Amino acid sequence: MTAHPANAAPPAPAPDDDLPPLNHGDGNQNPPGIGLLALIREDLRTHDGAWFEPGFWAVALHRFGNWRMGVRPKLLRAPFSLLHRFLSAWAELLGGVHLPYTVRLGRRVRIWHHGGIVLHARSIGDDVHIRHCTTFGVATRDRLRAIPIIEDRVDVGCGVCVLGDVTIGHDSLIGANAVVVADVPPYSTAVGIPARVIRRAVPEGGGS
Ligand SMILES: CC(=O)SCCNC(=O)CCNC(=O)[C@H](O)C(C)(C)COP(=O)(O)OP(=O)(O)OC[C@H]1O[C@@H](n2cnc3c(N)ncnc32)[C@H](O)[C@@H]1OP(=O)(O)O
């Protein structure tokens, strides 16, 4: 005998229901308090004026994709969203940097070199450095919201993977080819697979 719908067990929660939704929709992932052009000029300075670098294209297009022009109606954004999708698809194809518009991206983020870079993070802080063949993303396909947070001033070596709902604490260094699957505390140097902290350089006074 089947249970009456009113008595049926509630559906099981999805494995990542404990995590906040991704930053889709109308949210603006650009840093507050600075206009689009000033932001892109700052990104260009961060990339040493190298406007031809795919890392700069990826960051500038991300800024453009989140530009809201101070108007709310989505209709006005639609043509720009399409343009953004088209340009970023081409930039990704040519430069090998995938930086979704849903990532909350800090100021002065520098992407060195290009190729094999996939940055599906919840947020990337200010003054973060990223190199070729770096991946930020999910650890398993059943937890699609479980993606990393990269705090301010993190320096990510080439070939690094940061997987799942983990946080790389600010002012940390991640060694080349490390695979990070657990939180890294601030001011750490982490290396290896799985990454382990080999050093912590907390400034005098304890840092923040
Ligand atoms: C074209 C380009 O130039 S692109 C730029 C490429 N460069 C990068 O990506 C920079 C990434 N930097 C690194 O990987 C560095 O080695 C760092 C930052 C992790 C560590 O540098 P240092 O502080 O000088 O550490 P140091 O060289 O003293 O090594 C400390 C220990 O970690 C080990 N180690 C260092 N780097 C790594 C690594 N990537 N993976 C595994 N172990 C490592 C060392 O063998 C050493 O081990 P031991 O104590 O058992 O001898």
What pLDDT tens digit does each residue of the chain (208 aa) get? 566 777 778 777 778 888 888 877 656 788 988 988 999 999 999 999 999 999 999 999 999 988 875 555 556 666 678 888 899 999 999 999 999 989 999 999 999 999 999 999 999 999 999 999 999 999 999 999 999 999 999 999 999 999 999 999 999 999 999 999 999 999 999 999 999 999 999 898 877 7
Cβ 201 under 6 angstroms from ligand 1: no
Cβ 193 under 6 angstroms from ligand 1: no
Instruction: Provide the pLDDT for residue 1.
Output: 59
> Cβ(64)–Cβ(29) under 8 Å?
no
Question: Could you give the angle at the alpha carbon of 187 between the alpha carbons of 186 and 189, nearest 5°?
Answer: 110
Q: Residue of the nearest CA to atom 44 in ligand 1?
A: 191
Give residue 131 CA to ligand 1 midpoint distance, Å: 14
Q: Are residues 195 and 127 in the same domain?
A: yes
Helices 54-65 and 36-46, packing angle to 10 deg: 160
Q: Are residues 83 and 137 in the same domain?
A: no
Q: Are residues 91 and 129 in the same domain?
A: no
Omega cis (within 30) before 203: no
Tell me if 175 is assigned to some domain. Answer: yes
Residue after which a domain boundary falls, among 81, 96, 111:
96
Instruction: Provide the pLDDT for residue 3.
Output: 67
Cβ 115 under 6 angstroms from ligand 1: no
Tell me if 136 is assigned to some domain. Answer: yes
Instruction: Provide the pLDDT for residue 76.
Output: 61
Dist CA 166 CA 14 (whole Å): 19
- What's the CA dihedral at 113, 117, 123, 128 to 10 degrees? -20
Cβ 198 under 6 angstroms from ligand 1: yes
**Phi/psi at 158 (nearest 5 deg)?**
-70, 150
Q: Are residues 126 and 195 in the same domain?
A: yes
Residue of 125, 116, 203, 201 lying closest to 161 (CA atoms): 116
Give residue 172 CA to ligand 1 midpoint distance, Å: 13
Tell me if 8 is assigned to some domain. Answer: no
Q: Are residues 89 and 138 in the same domain?
A: no
Among 161, 191, 193, 199, which residue has the most ligand 1 atoms within 8 Å of its CB, making it the best to mutate? 191
Q: Are residues 129 and 185 in the same domain?
A: yes
Tell me if 107 is assigned to some domain. Answer: no
Is the pTM for the entire model greater than 0.80?
A: yes
> Cβ(98)–Cβ(118) under 8 Å?
yes
């990104």: which residue's tokens? 43
Tell me if 71 is assigned to some domain. Answer: yes
Measured from the Cβ of residue 57, the count of other Cβ atoms closer than 10 Å reads 24
Instruction: Say whether the ipTM exceeds 0.95.
Output: yes
Instruction: Provide the pLDDT for residue 68.
Output: 72
Instruction: Provide the pLDDT for residue 208.
Output: 74
Q: Are residues 54 and 126 in the same domain?
A: no
Helices 54-65 and 74-95, packing angle to 10 deg: 170
Cβ 190 under 6 angstroms from ligand 1: no
Q: Are residues 73 and 135 in the same domain?
A: no
Q: Are residues 84 and 148 in the same domain?
A: no
Q: Are residues 133 and 175 in the same domain?
A: yes
Domain of 134 in residue numbering reads as: 120-201
Instruction: Provide the pLDDT for residue 81.
Output: 80
Tell me if 39 is assigned to some domain. Answer: yes
Cβ 194 under 6 angstroms from ligand 1: no
Q: In the chain, how many domains are there? A: 2
Dist CA 154 CA 168 (whole Å): 7
Dist CA 200 CA 24 (whole Å): 35
Tell me if 149 is assigned to some domain. Answer: yes
Q: Are residues 82 and 124 in the same domain?
A: no
Instruction: Provide the pLDDT for residue 8.
Output: 79
Omega cis (within 30) before 185: no
Q: Are residues 127 and 196 in the same domain?
A: yes
Instruction: Provide the pLDDT for residue 11.
Output: 76
Q: Residue of the nearest CA to atom 45 in ligand 1?
A: 191
Cβ 197 under 6 angstroms from ligand 1: no
Instruction: Provide the pLDDT for residue 2.
Output: 65
Tell me if 207 is assigned to some domain. Answer: no
CATH at residue 124? 2.160.10.10
